[in-house]
Structure formats: structure tokens, C-alpha cells
Amino acid sequence: MIRVLANDGMHASGVDLLKKAGIEVQTQHIEAAALPGELQNFDALVVRSATKVRGPLIDACPNLRFIGRGGVGMDNIDVDYAQNKGIAVYNTPDSSTQSVAELVMGHMYSMARFLYAANRNMPGADAAKFNALKKEYGKGMELRGRTLGIIGCGRIGQALAALAIGAGMKVLPNRRPNNPIVLDLFINGLDPIHIDLPAVEMDELLGQSDFISLNLSFNEGDPPALGPEELKLVRKGVCIVNAARGGAVSEAALLEALDSGQVAHAALDVFEGEPSASAEILNHPRISLSPHIGAATAEAQARIGTEMAGYILQHFGLEVHSN
């Protein structure tokens, strides 16, 4: 019997498909120290972002034939090393696209209308504080007519672009500089509307954007896409969202830019040193926070589970048995 360890969990949609095909699935988490020994008894390992699958673990598990990453980023897996050992490696890049894009939009609305700050400061407000907060947070802005720069316009970036265009924003993507990005917008069930988005150079994106979202691939050791030099080039008062990976924005440079007023607000779903985050980041009055939940919607989790189960069944040459 083929045995699968879903060490960071798997949605019931995927577990059920695997069980119907006669595969045994364990979803109980095994801590890193015990994983090399316990993984000897499994043919496949499925992880999210919490479990790290590095060379020593791969070497310690000669029976392992499949590694799956539920989600997009593969930075917690030594992909090339595993593949050179003859282990198949899969991720689910399409399943969480819409969820991440909608989270970015949520953070942009939150920054534009001070929603995150109001939620921090409203509890316990007396009449005087209520009126003070009303005055302070009554200086928001609309997204319509603003410019959104998207650094990394792959699946998630393009989904975000479609949402932003629907909100009336101008979109500046920074990717494939000589190749326009074609979006398909679906409105009220009608035939899709095709829109070409010519990409721009980074300097233009930084200097013209009211909002900047990072949606690019980022691996440990890569230089930040927005470091001290890039943050000097942004339009004063810009709002920045990082829902890609911790480190894609230099947190030290971001804090400095926030304190100087160069950056008006920031929104972070991912953090350097995650799952820890610095006190300066967590307590900054102009940072909107969420705990790495970009793909954490019921719909995305169901899609991830189903897609990953399909890859496992395909790899091991199995089919779902009907009841």
C-alpha cells in the first residue's frame, strides 16, 4: 500500500480522493527532529510552508518517491537535489491564485481607509476619542484612479491586475519587458474581454505607483526586490503590499521609509524570520498585518487538496475508485 504523509495537513477533498484509490494518508504533524526516522515508512510527502525538505532529510529517506508542496513557493524544498535523486516534485501554482490576489486587494482597501488602524484603536473609545479617530481616519482615499505597480506579474499578479482594473485602477506590471501581458476579464458571465498590459521598467513603476504589490518568486538568499535603493525611488506617500515571501522587501529599509514618510503605509502577509516577526514590524502604527494567510481560504484549500491528490494519483499510476 502506498502511504502519504501530509505533514502540514491536507484538505478533506484531497484526502478523500487518495483514500478512494486505496492510498493511506496521515495528516498528523511530525516534528523536524523525528521526521527522518518516521518518513522511512512513507512513499510520498506533502507539505505547505512549515516543513522544510532539505538535502539531509532527502538523503535519510531512500523510499521517498514524491514530494508535493501545497501552494506556489518551493523555497522550503531543495527541488533540484530531490529531482536529481529521482524524486518527483510538484506544487499547486493555480489553486491559490485568486485567494492571494483578493487578500492584496483587501490590504489595499485597508490602507486606503485606515481600517487596520481603526480596528486597533476603536475598542474602548469614549466620545472624545471616537471623534478624534473620526477626524484622523476621515482622510482616506479611493482606489479608483490610483496607480498600482505589480512586481512579478505571473498568475497571482495577473489575477490582482484584473481585480485592480475592475476597481478602476491603472496597472503597471514589471515583468517580461518586451512582451505585453494579456488579461481576460470576465464580467457578469459575458464573453471575456481581452486587455493588453505593456510592462514597464522598474524605475518607472517605482516612480509612478501609488500602490506597489510584490507577487514574485523569492528564495532565501535572494536580494530584496525592494531594498534601500529602490525605496528611495518610490513616489512619496506610496503604499506597499508584500504577499510574496518574507525578505522580498527589506524590513529594515521599509521601517526607515515609513518613519521618514517616504512610504505612507505598508501591508505584510509574510515576514523575515517567519514564523517570528520583529516587534518593530508588529507594532508599527502604519503597517497592516496578516499571518501568512494569502492562500488560506476554504476554496483555495479545497482546490489545493484536489490538485495535489491528482498529482499523486498520476505519479503512482492510480485512479479513483467509484463507490
- How many whole angstroms separate alpha carbon 60 and alpha carbon 63? 9
Out of 235, 245, 265, 303, the active site residue is 245
- How many whole angstroms separate alpha carbon 323 and alpha carbon 321? 7
- How many whole angstroms separate alpha carbon 265 and alpha carbon 284? 10
> Is the torsion defined by CA of 41, 46, 50, 54 positive or negative?
positive
- How many whole angstroms separate alpha carbon 105 and alpha carbon 213? 10
Q: Strand 238-242 to strand 170-174: parallel, antiparallel, or no bridges (unpaired)?
A: unpaired
The DSSP string of 103-126 is HHHHHHHHHHTTHHHHHHH-TT--
Q: Give yes or no: 155 in active site.
A: no
Q: Give yes or no: 274 in active site.
A: yes
- How many whole angstroms separate alpha carbon 288 and alpha carbon 317? 46
Out of 48, 235, 292, 303, the active site residue is 292
Overall size of the chain counted in residues: 323
Instruction: For residue 294, give the amino acid letter.
Output: G
Q: Are 285 and 117 in contact (CB under 8 A)?
A: yes
Short-list 57, 55, 10, 62, CA closest to 41: 62
Q: Give yes or no: 292 in active site.
A: yes
Chain CA centroid to CA 265, Å: 19
Q: Are 255 and 284 in contact (CB under 8 A)?
A: yes
Out of 274, 280, 286, 315, the active site residue is 274
- Positions annotated as catalytic residues are 245, 274, 292
